[in-house]
């Protein structure tokens, strides 16, 4: 069964044409294009949540973070264009345009006015401060 696995993953005709004309099947320069989903790590400490989201290829200006209570949404527009010199002859040109987003719910509400965001080397780091409870609630009067 192991000998058939290449044919299953790529298809029988893809393998045949790859042997006949190997130049026809060129992999993208930037991997497989847009990421299917933003990968997120969420850590908690007593005062805040620290979120690290991988968004390679996005510009800082094209990343949007929305906080609604305890729901955090990260959305990014990704535009990847290959550069070219005037002396180059274009044999193939690839561009990726698209939008990816991810929403997740935290155990407590977030104080969006005190939270901070930083984007560096394709990783968005969010320091989301926990909203402090006001007074501990009110006691209901039983009639």
Phi and psi (nearest 5°) for 3? Answer: -70, -25
CA distances from 89 to 59, 75, 85, 130, 140 (A): 28, 36, 9, 55, 77
At which residue do the structure tokens 């060129």 appear?
A: 26
Dump pLDDT digits (tens) for 41-84: 999 999 999 999 999 888 899 999 999 999 999 999 887 766 66
b/e map 21-38, b = 16+ CB within 10 Å:
eeeeeeeeeeeeebbeeb
**Strand segments (E) across 20-57:** 39-44, 48-54
Q: Kind of pairing, strands 58-68 and 48-54?
A: unpaired
DSSP string covering 52-95, please? Answer: EEE-TTEEEEEEEEEEETTEEEEEEEEEEE----TT---S---E
Is 72 in contact with 110 (CB distance < 8 Å)?
Answer: yes
Q: Does the structural domain 34-84+91-129 have CATH classification 3.40.50.2000?
A: no
Dump pLDDT digits (tens) for 14-44: 555 555 555 444 444 444 555 567 899 999 9
**What pTM does this model have?**
0.63
> Domain boundaries in the chain?
34-84+91-129
Is 111 in contact with 129 (CB distance < 8 Å)?
Answer: yes
């Amino acid at each position: 069964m192991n000998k058939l696995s290449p044919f299953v993953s790529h298809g029988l005709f893809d393998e045949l044409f790859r042997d006949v004309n190997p130049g026809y099947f060129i992999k993208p320069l930037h991997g497989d294009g847009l990421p299917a989903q933003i990968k997120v790590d969420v850590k908690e400490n007593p005062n805040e949540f620290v979120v690290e989201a991988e968004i390679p290829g996005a510009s800082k200006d094209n990343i949007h973070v929305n906080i609604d209570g305890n729901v955090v949404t990260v959305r990014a527009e990704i535009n990847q264009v290959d550069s070219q010199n005037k002396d180059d002859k274009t044999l193939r040109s690839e561009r990726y345009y698209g939008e990816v987003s991810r929403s997740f719910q935290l155990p407590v509400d977030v104080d969006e006015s005190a939270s901070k965001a930083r984007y560096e080397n394709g990783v968005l780091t969010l320091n989301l401060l926990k909203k402090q409870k006001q007074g501990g609630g009110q006691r209901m009067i039983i009639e």
